[in-house]
Amino acid sequence: MAKGKQVRKSASTRGAARPVRKRATPALTPDEREARTNALLAAALDVFLERGFESARLDEVAQRAGVAKGTLYLYFPSKEALFEALIGSLIASPFQAAGEVLLKQDVPAETMLRGLLHFAKTEILATRRKDVARLIISEAGRFPELAAFYHREVIGRGMGIVRSIIERGVKSGEFRSDAAARFPQLVVAPILVAIVWTGLFDRVQKLDTSGLLDAHADLLIAGLKGGTQ
């Protein structure tokens, strides 16, 4: 009898259903991974601008990008990392690339300076990049580490480009003053004014940002060539 029971038990065991193995998720190609990264950054831009940094939630970013929240963490381990990647891809990298192209050109320093301000006019003030800069201004007090990152990756690089242009102009004799090399904030100040003004007062009094930067370029270059110290 014991042997019979053992046979029946073995048969029962042989008939048991085997666990179903899950198929491994195929790895993404580099193009697919880049597309997903871009989708996450685009969704993050919307959420950060709508909610602010503090109130932005990663699950909402993931939902808008069409991925699971866990998937988002495979690309960006924290909200801070996501925001820094957004700044890098949206502003820092394009700005640095434009500056490098500008400095390689064999043109007068005045042309370079006007080109830099034109880039600010068309690629910052006329795009959502100005909204990101405005977000930094509003959040800097509560999140100084974000302000430090933006200064290092965007403002600092911009200052370096300005100094290079002015120093080249002084060296060639085109500019008599090096004031803008010592204080590059003089060059970018109207850009910040335009960002703040359009955010606070645009409904009350619209600002012609294009005209502002053109007038600023004329005054600035006249001062540099005139040798005002």
- Return the number of other C-beta atoms located less than 10 Å from residue 220's C-beta: 22
Nearest one of 78, 122, 109, 126 to 180, comparing CA atoms = 109
User: What are the structural domain ranges in the chain?
Assistant: 29-77, 80-226
Out of 1.10.10.60, 3.30.70.260, 3.40.350.10, 3.40.120.10, which CATH number does the structure's domain 29-77 have? 1.10.10.60
Tokens coding 222: 């006249």
Residue 207: is it exposed, middle or buried by C-beta count within 10 angstroms (0-12/13-18/19+)? middle
- Chunked in runs of 10, what are the mean pLDDT values of the chain (229 residues)? 49 51 64 92 96 95 94 95 95 91 95 95 94 92 92 93 96 96 96 94 95 96 82
pLDDT for residue 11: 46
Using CA atoms, how far apart are residues 116 and 165, in angstroms rounded to an integer?
10
Is the domain spanning 80-226 CATH 1.10.357? The answer is: yes
pTM of the model: 0.81
The greatest distance separating any two alpha carbons of the chain, rounded to the nearest whole angstrom, comes to 114
Q: Are 193 and 216 in contact (CB under 8 A)?
A: no
